[in-house]
Amino acid sequence: MDSDFIELDGVEKVFDVRRRTGFLRRERREVRAVDGISFRVPRGEMVGYIGPNGAGKSTTIKMLTGILTPSGGRLRVAGIDPSRERTKLAHRIGVVFGQRTTLWWDLPLRDSYRLMHRMYRIPDRRFRENLDRCVELLDLGALLEVPVRQLSLGQRMRGDIAAALLHDPEVLYLDEPTIGLDVVSKAKVRGFLRDLNAERSTTVLLTTHDLTDIEQLCRRVMVIDHGRLVYDGALAGLHEVGESERTLVVDLERELPPVTLASDPSVRVVRVEGPRQWLAFPASVSAAPLVARLAADYPLVDLSVREPDIEAVIAKMYASDPAL
Ligand SMILES: Nc1ncnc2c1ncn2[C@@H]1O[C@H](COP(=O)(O)OP(=O)(O)OP(=O)(O)O)[C@@H](O)[C@H]1O
Ligand SMILES: [Mg+2]
C-alpha cells in the first residue's frame, strides 16, 4: 500500500471542445489532454512532473485532487478514488496552484487560515503548531494581517503553501509553486519543501518550468508530453534519453585550424576563438581517451569538460518528439 500511495493506470482525460466556425456552425473537437498515463509514487517520495505547455500536467493534478473526473483508466490516492470521494480525500491532500490562489482575496491571511481551521476541523493545538511553524519558516509574521490582494506574488505564494499544509496533508501537489518568484523567495520555498519532506515524509508531486526546482528537490522526474509519459526515472538519466553532449574546452598553444580526431568521428568542433576550441562529444563517451589523443596530436595548454545543462537536454527531448 505504502509503495503505491499514488496509483495511475492508463488514466485518460478527454475534453470536448466546441468551437464556433461560422454562423450557427460549431465544430466539435476532442482534446486528449491526458492520454493513457500510468505511474506509482510511494509514500514519502518527492517527484518532479514536468513537460512543455499544454502537456497535461495541470489536468493530471486536477484528476488527482478529484476536481476533474478521468475519462478512462484507474486512479487512486491513499486508496481513495479522488473524484468519487473528493471530500474524504481533501483532508489528506494539500494543493498549491501557483497560477491562482486558494486564499480569500479580501481577507487578511490570518482570517483565511482561521476559515481553513474550521473547514478542515483541525484540532486547535495542531492548527497552532502548524501555523507557527509555517509562519516562522515561510517568513509570514509581518503578513498575517494583510489582505491577500495586497500581497506580492511571492508573499501570496508563501501564504498559499502555508494554507495547503495547515491540516497536515500526507500528500502535497504543487503546480508551479515557484512561478514568478525571485531567487531569494525560490530558495526559501525550496528549503521549506525539503525540510517538510524530510521531517514529515510528506509525499510531494511537483510541477514546474524551473528545472532548478527539480534538480534541488527531486531524485525522480517524470516527463509528460502530449498527454503521455515520455520519461520516468532519475534526473541524471535524462541526459542519455536526450542524447546529450558534453563539451571539451581546450586551450592550445596557438591559433590552429579546428582539431580533428580521425579515430573519433563523433567529436565535433563547435566553436573556435583564437587558441581556444570547443569540442562536443556524446555524454555517454568517456573524456579520458579523447584527452589523451588530443594531447598526443596537439600542443595542449589547458582543458576542461562541461556537463550538458539539463535545460538543454529537455529542450532537445521535447524537440525530438516526432508528434511535434
Ligand atoms: N477545461 C478544459 N477544456 C478544454 N480543454 C482543456 C481544459 N483544460 C485543459 N485543456 C487542454 O488540455 C491540454 C493540457 O492542458 P494542461 O493545463 O493540463 O497543460 P499543462 O501541462 O498544465 O500546461 P502548462 O505548462 O501551460 O501549465 C491543453 O491542450 C489544454 O488546452
Ligand atoms: Mg499547468
Asked if residue 77 and residue 20 are part of one domain, the reply reads: yes
Asked if residue 120 and residue 77 are part of one domain, the reply reads: yes
Classify residue 193: in a domain, yes or no: yes
Cell of 96: 498549491
Asked if residue 188 and residue 98 are part of one domain, the reply reads: yes
Question: Checking DSSP bridges between strand 245-252 and strand 276-282, what pairing results, if any?
Answer: antiparallel
For ligand 1, which residues put their CB under 6 angstroms from it? 15, 17, 31, 33, 51, 53-59
Please identify, among 239, 261, 294, the residue that sits at the C-terminal boundary of a domain: 239
Asked if residue 13 and residue 40 are part of one domain, the reply reads: yes
Asked if residue 209 and residue 283 are part of one domain, the reply reads: no
Nearest CA to ligand 1 atom 8: 59
Q: pLDDT grade, residue 310 (50/70/90)?
A: low
- Domain containing residue 102: CATH number: 3.40.50.300
- If one compares 44 and 320, the residue with the highest pLDDT of the two is 44
Q: pLDDT grade, residue 166 (50/70/90)?
A: very high
The per-residue pLDDT for 242 is 61
* Range list of H helices, the chain: 57-65, 86-90, 109-119, 124-137, 153-165, 183-200, 211-217, 238-241, 287-297, 310-319
φ, ψ of residue 252 in degrees (nearest 5): -95, 170
Atom of ligand 1 nearest to the CA of 60: 18
Q: pLDDT grade, residue 184 (50/70/90)?
A: confident
Is the pLDDT at 126 greater than 70, yes or no? Answer: yes
Nearest CA to ligand 1 atom 27: 53
Asked if residue 280 and residue 227 are part of one domain, the reply reads: no
Nearest CA to ligand 1 atom 7: 15
The per-residue pLDDT for 321 is 54
The CA 15 to ligand 1 mean position distance, Å, reads 9
Please give the angle made by the CA atoms of 311, 10 and 96, to the nearest 5 degrees. Answer: 55
Is the pLDDT at 214 greater than 70, yes or no? Answer: yes
The CA 50 to ligand 2 mean position distance, Å, reads 10
Point out the least confidently predicted range of 2-16, 27-41, 226-240.
Answer: 226-240
Classify residue 321: in a domain, yes or no: no
Please identify, among 239, 258, 276, the residue that sits at the C-terminal boundary of a domain: 239
32-78: pLDDT as tens digits: 999 999 999 999 999 999 988 889 999 999 999 999 999 999 999 99
Our count of domains for the chain comes to 2
Please identify, among 190, 220, 239, the residue that sits at the C-terminal boundary of a domain: 239
The per-residue pLDDT for 36 is 96
- Tell me the percentage of the chain whose pLDDT exceeds 70: 93
Asked if residue 297 and residue 223 are part of one domain, the reply reads: no
Point out the least confidently predicted range of 93-97, 106-110, 299-303, 304-308.
Answer: 304-308
Classify residue 48: in a domain, yes or no: yes
Asked if residue 283 and residue 172 are part of one domain, the reply reads: no
The per-residue pLDDT for 2 is 66
Classify residue 317: in a domain, yes or no: no
In contact, 44 and 203? CB cutoff 8 Å: yes
Sequence-distant (≥ 6) Cβ neighbours of residue 172 within 8 angstroms: 93, 94, 95, 96, 164, 165, 196, 202, 203, 204, 205
Classify residue 202: in a domain, yes or no: yes
The CA 59 to ligand 1 mean position distance, Å, reads 6
110-124: average pLDDT: 93
The predicted model scores a pTM of 0.78
Asked if residue 249 and residue 235 are part of one domain, the reply reads: no
Task: Compute the mean pLDDT over every residue in the chain, rounded to the nearest whole number.
Answer: 89
Classify residue 187: in a domain, yes or no: yes
The per-residue pLDDT for 324 is 43
Classify residue 315: in a domain, yes or no: no
The per-residue pLDDT for 287 is 85
| Domain of residue 280, residue span | 245-307
Asked if residue 155 and residue 104 are part of one domain, the reply reads: yes
Asked if residue 100 and residue 72 are part of one domain, the reply reads: yes
Question: Checking DSSP bridges between strand 93-97 and strand 6-22, what pairing results, if any?
Answer: unpaired
Look at residues 158, 234, 168, 155 and name the one whose alpha carbon lies nearest to residue 199: 168
Point out the least confidently predicted range of 46-50, 97-101, 203-207, 283-287.
Answer: 283-287
φ, ψ of residue 229 in degrees (nearest 5): -80, 120
Nearest CA to ligand 1 atom 5: 15
- If one compares 26 and 308, the residue with the highest pLDDT of the two is 26
Look at residues 165, 179, 30, 188 and name the one whose alpha carbon lies nearest to residue 97: 179
Point out the least confidently predicted range of 86-95, 164-173, 180-189.
Answer: 180-189
Look at residues 200, 233, 199 and name the one whose alpha carbon lies nearest to residue 218: 233
